[in-house]
Amino acid sequence: MASRTRRHYRGAPPEERRAQRREQLLLAAIQVYGERGYRNATVKAVCEAAGLTERYFYESFANSEALLAAAYQAVVQHLLRELAATGAGAGGPPEAKVRAILAAYYSKLRDDPRSARLFLVEVAGVSPDVDEVLADSLGRFGELLADTLGARPDPMLRTGVVGGVLHIALGWVGGGYREPIDEVVDAALSLCLLLK
């Protein structure tokens, strides 16, 4: 039986090209959703921003909700890795580590408004599937904060604290970042200390 050879295009196997196109679509979605909002964006607009045709969109995603969920997960995974590294690298007691995590979180929201919009606004209420992705990411953020404090709080308390941290972020971002970041971090830290 003859072995089948894989076709390469410009030196890359098909799986690698598919993965590259998927990554292009994710980056384009973050850009487009951050600028226009999810509900005002079309698959065509995302494809144009990615420099790809709609055919390639459907190669990677079933629909625009699936792309939104994947883009959100990509933003959250990157953010949580950064926040965990910040906490691990911060000196001092657990409270100082949580302060460093919160300062990094709010700084990221201020410095990358497109991701902030995606992270805070665009995912809420789209569909039950997207809400599930949102709940999972908020749960992981809450675990990071609680673990950093060495706390094992009631899950409902952890959910409430993370909701408060996000609502502080929504008010701060929506208000044009008026308050100094140290005040924002202090308010969020006060909430986080309830986890102990």
Return the structure tokens found at 112: 């990358």
Q: How confident is the model at residue 114 (pLDDT cuts 50, 70, 90)?
A: confident
Q: In whole angstroms, give the CA distance from residue 62 to residue 14.
A: 19
* Residues 47 and 57 sit within 8 Å (Cβ to Cβ): yes
* Residues 54 and 47 sit within 8 Å (Cβ to Cβ): yes
Q: What pTM does this model have? A: 0.85
CATH class as words, domain 14-195: mainly alpha
Going 96 to 99 to 103 to 105, the CA torsion angle's sign is: positive
Q: How confident is the model at residue 12 (pLDDT cuts 50, 70, 90)?
A: confident
Q: How many other CB atoms sit within 10 Å of the CB of residue 8?
A: 11
* Residues 173 and 91 sit within 8 Å (Cβ to Cβ): no
pLDDT for the residue 2: 44
Q: Which of 189, 194, 65, 190 is nearest to 133 (CA)?
A: 65
pLDDT for the residue 7: 53
Domain boundaries, the chain: 14-195
Q: DSSP string covering 72-128, please?
A: HHHHHHHHHHHHHHHHHH--SSHHHHHHHHHHHHHHHHHH-HHHHHIIIIITTTS-H
Strand partners, 12: 9
Helices (runs of H) and strands (runs of E) counted in the chain = 9, 0
How far from 96 is each of 111, 122, 144, 189, CA to CA, in Å?
22, 31, 14, 9
Average pLDDT in the chain: 90
pLDDT digits (tens, 9 = 90+) for 115-148: 777 778 778 888 998 999 999 999 999 999 999 9
